[in-house]
A and B are shown apart, each in its own frame.
Chain A
Amino acid sequence: MHMEKSTDLRKQARSAFIRSSAFQRLILIAVLVLLYGFFYLASPSFRKYTTLVQICSNMYYTLLMAIGVTFPLITGGNDLSMGTGLICYSLIGSYLMRIYGWPLWAAILITIGMGVAMGAVNGFGVAKLDIPPFIMTLASMMFCRGMGSILTGGFSGTWPDGAEPGAEFRNVFRLIVKTDTGRMPVPLGMIWMILLVIIMSLVLNKTRVGRYTIAIGSNKEALKLSGVNVLKWHIFAYMICGLFTGFAAVTYAATFSNITPGQGAGFELNAIGAAIIGGTAMTGGSGSVFGTFLGVLLISLLQVGLPFIGLNADWQLLITGGILLGAVTIDKMRNGK
């Protein structure tokens, strides 16, 4: 860690463009285009509009987590509790609806609320008790993994679906329009996602939350000396992550029906991986929401695309692993050792 910090100045001294994360994003976009083109040529059925929809609806919850985790990552931290947390929250949400007959909106609020709360806990542990972020969130990850089924007694939940009342909330993510040729799905969710990406990049670059998030990652001591209440903003960064995990939980429940406890471990790794691919540095201080967006797009494109070219499932793992390594290596090359 502290080696990176020490060479920071020399890093920055290098040519501005290569250094700029814009460059990394450019590479990423190029890769995306190439990959899409490749799939496009390789498989006729991939060309269908519906495949695009598939790619979109496949990425919603990962994207939300990734946007969230971008903030802790920029502070130089991490959040491993997202995956199991996501399942835990949406599970409890559905439990309240099914068993206690809570209304949908209340369940949604609780689900998101729990996310924020867990974020606050993580933030407190990291910022106040200065527990290494990795350990703190590892602990809350294990905690969530158990908590879901402890509270619901091993019940596996479903959110309203099909004809049930409240099932409409799924239309928030997928609108069906009738055309003369038949029905056509419109990935409404994508619009919200893009909206969120825009909003969060604004938050990151144009508000105090974002400004101090970057500052914490860049030089926490300096920020303290400037008389900023570091503790508050540091916790805030984790709460944002929690909030988006909450969103992700709802989205997950909306796009897939059945939520099984004990699942979800590993979701967060995709999200973190995506953020890193998007050019957010593990050392903190720099990162961009748009980059994260591209990162998730890449992963989703792979997950959906690879089956189309008849590549056996297990190769997908190999390739995603390879791409992750590649991305970080490029990043290193850019910034020098």
Chain B
Amino acid sequence: MGEVILTMKGIDKSFPGVHALDHVDFEVRSGEVHALMGENGAGKSTLMKVLTGIYTKDAGTITFEGKEVEFHNPREAQQAGIVIVHQELNMMGHLTVAQNIFIGREPRRGLFINDSAMNDEAKKLFAQLGIEINPKETMSSLTVAKQQMCEIAKAISHDAKVIIFDEPTAALTDAEIDQLFVIIRDLRAKGYGIVYISHRMDEIKKITDRVSVMRDGQYIGTLVTEECTKEEIIDMMVGRVIYEEPKTESHCPPDAPVVLKVEHLNAGRMVQDVSFELHRGEILGFAGLVGAGRTETARALFGADPKQSGDIWINGKKVSINSPKDAVEAGISYLSEDRKRFGIVLKKSITENSTLATLKNFTRGMFINKPKEAEVTQKYVDALKTKTPGIDQLVMNLSGGNQQKVVIAKWLVNDSQIMIFDEPTRGIDVGAKQEIYELMTRLAASGKAIIMISSELAEILRMSDRIIVMCEGRKTGEFDIAEATQEKIMSAATRDIDMQNRKPVQEGEAS
């Protein structure tokens, strides 16, 4: 580990109503991987945005390579040698890989951009990283992982001294993660200072040298990774120990009737011949790595995406579901993992969102029965303890957790017997998480049949009565909670791949 190259002291930043950063300190040495951890909203990303000049700080100093610096825009930061590999990859899909890497500083011959020189440069970079990517390919035709590699290549091409990885593994498969780590280690060896933001404990243990933890916009402390335990870090992150006791046996009575039966469901590459049953009052966990085809299965089942084949029975009756409309009428509801895009109408009020799926129950003739609407909405706001000044509040003014509650309310109002929760706790802070768990348990107890898709193994093990594991679009395992173990699930989730350097894939921060 080399000398300190970057120091941030007493960084302070407020947004209207939020004190995002409260005098935070942070430092990076050259040749180290420095983890920055904390719950969502702890201020990690904000801190990095201040560092890279996307936000301007209210107070505090940044010292880089011995002299105090102040970046007003990403450009300045890049030129100084601080680059960030963004969590939501910021690439221009229509341009080629090389064009993306060199956007804003294209080599030119006279008036014209010298693309061939650019491609050669890019080739060199990839060679340096030991990756196989054709610089001439259009960005959007690459896999997410490769796109990220390009981002890294871009970072290096800025001859950066400090590279920030913001949730780099959120969307990667394990093989890809390993490849990423190889690269990161290589960069560390080359003396780069690396900031690594992630939630994934074992990644932290595996790749980082030091860990700094933030909570509620404050700097809590820094530990040397080898010398500390997961628990210590978690305690620092959440300020209290939370027990995520795995279920020991199914809470669902063995004689519970089958509510949903899916047979030989096929939808594109990501859903191949998936069959399963779902019982009344059961929570069926869908485990697997990101990109295993669980969400796709749910969407196909829900009629959101077209499916090639597959039969669906509900309460023993065969139903044909070709659109979300059919699904909802059949009593299925789907809480998407991407709330903002597929879950809620941000510009509209809680009321309007809550009754979106069930408006026909709130109409007198063709008119909307607003009093009834308001009454029901209020009921669920209370029931779910949604924090809001009123039911006319626009959803975009609510926190992630409360937005999720509005989505849940929408489906509760619909009173559908089958509920699909896709990453129900993604981007939700610990407290709200707890509430959501309790809520799901209550729902199951009240006789609803629940499918829970989660990439967080702890969550799966804690909530599910039964677990289905998917891998590359296929169902690769089914366990009763009693017999399920991390190892079993992981081996199913990764099929033949050897078990040594395996770890559960955990939740990633929502974008």
Contacts and interface: CB of A to CB of B under 8 A. Distances in A.
A207 interface: yes
Smallest CB-CB A-B distances: 8 pairs? A227-B75, A222-B90, A12-B140, A218-B92, A285-B94, A218-B94, A228-B104, A226-B104
Contacts of A9: 93, 140
Contact of A221 (B90, B93, B106, B341): B90
Contacts of B113: 206-208, 211
B81 to A, nearest CB: 13
Contact of B92 (A16, A206, A207, A223): A223
B95 A215 contact: yes
Interface residues of B, number: 26
Contacts of A2: 341
A167 to B, nearest CB: 35
Given A206-B112, A207-B111, A228-B104, 12 more contacts: A6-B341, A207-B112, A211-B99, A211-B113, A214-B92, A217-B94, A218-B92, A225-B74, A226-B103, A227-B76, A227-B104, A285-B94
B115 to A, nearest CB: 7
Contact of A286 (B94, B103, B141): B94
Contact of B94 (A16, A202, A214): A214
B45 interface: no
10 contacts: A9-B93, A12-B140, A214-B92, A218-B94, A218-B95, A219-B92, A223-B103, A224-B74, A226-B104, A227-B76
A12 B92 contact: no
Contact of B115 (A8, A206, A214): A206
A228 B93 contact: no
Interface in B68-99: 73-76, 78, 86, 90-95, 99
A215 B103 contact: yes
Interface in A1-54: 2, 6, 8-9, 11-13, 16
Given A206-B113, A207-B112, A219 B75 contact: no
B138 interface: yes
Contacts of A214: 92, 94-95
B203 to A, nearest CB: 25
Contacts of A228: 75, 103-104
B125 interface: no
Main secondary structure of the interface of A (DSSP, over half): helix
Contacts of B138: 12
A211 B86 contact: no
A323 B106 CA distance: 40
Contacts of A286: 94
Nearest to A227: B75
Interface in A218-258: 218-219, 221-228
A334 to B, nearest CB: 15
A279 to B, nearest CB: 13
Contacts of B262: none
B201 interface: no
Contacts of B91: 219, 222
Contacts of B75: 227-228
Interface string B103-127: 1101010011101000000000000
A59 B99 CA distance: 34
Contact of B90 (A11, A219, A285): A219
A219 B99 CA distance: 13
Contacts of B73: 227
B95 A226 contact: no
B54 interface: yes
Given A215-B92, A218-B93, A225 B112 contact: no
Interface in B418-473: none
A202 B110 CA distance: 13
A228 B95 CA distance: 15
Contact of B74 (A13, A208, A211, A226): A226
A71 to B, nearest CB: 14
A294 B341 CA distance: 38
A225 B92 contact: no
B106 A219 contact: no
A227 B106 CA distance: 13
A202 B74 CA distance: 29
